[in-house]
Amino acid sequence: MSDSVSTSQDAAASEAHELKPLEVVEQHLQQAFDCLQDLDRGLIAMLSQPKRVMNVNFPVEMDDGSLQMFQGYRVLHSQILGPGKGGIRFHPQVSGEEVAGLAALMTWKCALIDVPFGGAKGGVTCNPKCLSENELRHITRRYISELGDNIGPHTDIPAPDLYTDERTMAWVYDTYDIMHRGRNNLPVVTGKPLDMGGSQGRLEATGRGCLYTTERFLAKAGLCDVESIRNARVVIQGFGNVGAVVARLFRDAGAIILAISDTQGGIFNEDGIDLDAASAFKQAHGTVVGLPETRTITNQDLLGLECEILIPAALSHQICCGNAKNIRAKLVVEAANGPTSPAADRILNRRGIPVLPDILANAGGVTVSYFEWVQNIENEQWDLSEVNAKLKRKMYHGVDVVFDRWRQLAKITTPTIMETVVKPIQNNQDTFPSLRTAALVIAIERLSRVTLERGIWP
């Protein structure tokens, strides 16, 4: 199973081509740095650059006997708060630049949600849809062996990401374990299968984290059009590891899932999609498109649907300057990493559409990864209710600190958004801080504080 991904590539393409992933990170960061005038310039430079970048080229023998070269990457962005942490993705668009940008996101995410990890990311440029299980296993094993001791339970800990899953993590663990016999290697990777050190609740943790952040935000923010998830119309882009879980959990919480999508396109039903039928249909046909009693729509149509909550759970750069003006949701919840471009972010902010940023909304995955790592080190297995209760506490706390910091940055004294914030933004206050800026400010403050407490060596 993999993160099935929808692509609104036409609209996203021009901006994505112009803006490199690292530049996206820099633009988002700049807004946070602007709020932190006292921050040392050297510290800013330090936080902006990855600590270590690895590129590996390696051969794999394919099923037909041919030999094919693959490119892999692992970027360790920061170890200030602890060992590097972040997923491994298999996708044709994986590049060193993309991985570096995503590694930085992991640093901010871990700092914000307060797990003792730095940020990292890895990937192999390949098309998993065209590879057999055998070939995927060979790629994974060879990639991990090439990374050698650059990963480890206390240095850099991989996890699943786009088009990688429990099975991939089992191969990662096994390869590393063969290379390091005679010690507890379980904490070298998270997102493992349950019977080999995986955690209860990890599989659905990203989606569950999205649910908890949305729930808490709605309770705090007082958006007049969206009081709660119950009866909210929800549109989800992507129906893979994250999107399918998000859809199910939001439906179970009483939402109407108006539309979902995958790489082939989207489907819409104003009374709500039958998700069990959609999953079965996707299993049988490889796509949700064509599900009876639904209307087929494009990914662009899907993003522009009128709804209460829009959840991009696919690739990055799906909401871009070309389509941000068409968004008719009351709230955007970023289940994917980097789905909103900086230009789109500014447009949505100006239009008064709050965006729960990726480093908060999708931090449930890395949070339960942290729980898995702790369980592996302590040789324990927590039950599902314990994991979910701990996750909920972390996510609620994350929303609380971001919301409070945002109100402080925006100089809001009343507790709700609508009366005091959205209207002024609609009056075109372009410099108004976003929730993303507030989240980044918290992360950067934590990282700079710890850097100074540790001191620069030597």
Stretch that binds ligand GLU, among 80-88, 138-146, 246-254, 417-425 (CB under 6 A): 80-88
Tell me which stretch binds ligand GLU (CB under 6 A): 17-25, 46-54, 85-93, 147-155: 85-93
Least separation in angstroms between residue 120's CB and ligand GLU is 8
Considering beta carbons, is residue 287 or 388 the nearer one to ligand GLU? Answer: 388
Please tell me the distance from the alpha carbon of residue 98 to that of residue 85, in angstroms, as a whole number: 16
R_g of the chain computed on alpha carbons:
21
Burial of 41 (0-12, 13-18, 19+ CB in 10 A): exposed
- Annotated catalytic residue within 51, 85, 109, 121: 121
CB of 357 vs ligand GLU, minimal distance in Å = 13
Q: 3-class DSSP state for residue 160?
A: strand
Q: Which is nearer to ligand GLU, 347 or 355 (CB)?
A: 355
Burial 2-29 (b: 16+ CB within 10 A, else e): bbbbbbbeebbeebbeebebbebbbebb
Of the pair 344, 366, the CB lying nearest ligand GLU is at 366
264 versus 337: smaller Cβ distance to ligand GLU: 337
Active-site residue flag, 121: yes
User: Any residues with CB less than 8 A from the CB of 129 and at least 6 apart, and which?
Assistant: none
The smaller minimum CB distance to ligand GLU, of residues 59 and 92, is found at 92
Q: Is 81 in the site for ligand GLU (CB under 6 A)?
A: no
Residue 430 tokens read as 């372009």
- In contact, 85 and 365? CB cutoff 8 Å: no
- C-alpha–C-alpha distance, residues 183 and 287, integer Å: 43
Residue with smaller CB distance to ligand GLU, 199 or 299: 199
Q: CA-to-CA distance for 187 and 185, rounded, in angstroms? A: 6
The stretch near ligand GLU (CB under 6 A) out of 14-22, 34-42, 81-89, 133-141 is: 81-89
Least distance (Å) between residue 19 CB and ligand GLU: 20
Residue 50 burial (CB count, 10 A): 20
Q: Are 256 and 234 in contact (CB under 8 A)?
A: yes
Selected binder of ligand GLU within 72, 86, 153, 238 (CB under 6 A): 86
- Taking the complex as a whole, the smallest distance from the CB of residue 106 to ligand GLU amounts, in Å, to 6
Q: Which residue is nearest to ligand GLU (CB)?
A: 87
What's at 457, amino acid-wise?
A: W
The size of the interface with ligand GLU (CB under 6 A), counted in residues, is: 11
Query: How many Cβ atoms are within 10 Å of 174's Cβ, its own excluded?
Result: 18
Of the candidate residues 28, 51, 77, 85, the single one contacting ligand GLU (CB under 6 A): 85
Q: To the nearest whole angstrom, how small is the minimum distance from the Cβ of residue 191 to ligand GLU?
A: 6
Q: Identify the residue among 54, 103, 159, 332 touching ligand GLU (CB under 6 A).
A: 159
Residues facing residue 441 across a β-bridge: none
Taking CB under 6 A as the criterion, the residue among 161, 165, 215, 262 binding ligand GLU is 161
Q: Which of 185, 190, 199, 316 binds ligand GLU (CB under 6 A)?
A: 190
Considering only residues 334 through 373, tell me which ones interact with ligand GLU, judged by CB under 6 A.
Answer: 337, 362, 365-366, 369
Shortest Å, Cβ 444 to ligand GLU = 18
In the complex, what is the shortest distance from the CB of residue 414 to ligand GLU, in angstroms, rounded to a whole number? 33
Closest approach of ligand GLU to the CB of residue 367, in Å: 8
- Calpha distance 75→13 (Å, rounded): 25
Specify the residue, 2 or 323, whose C-beta has the smaller distance to ligand GLU: 2
Element (H, E) at 164: none
Phi, psi of 118 (to 5 degrees): -90, -165
Q: How far is CA 53 from CA 14, 175, 279, 337, 398, in A?
A: 27, 21, 38, 20, 29
In DSSP notation, 384-447 reads HHHHHHHHHHHHHHHHHHHHHHHHHHTT--SS-SIIIIIHHHHTT-TTPPPHHHHHHHHHHHHH
Residue numbers 296-315 binding ligand GLU by CB under 6 A: none
Residue 164 vs 434, nearer CB to ligand GLU: 164
Task: Give the footprint of ligand GLU on this chain (CB under 6 A).
Answer: 85-87, 159, 161, 190, 337, 362, 365-366, 369
Catalytic residues: 121
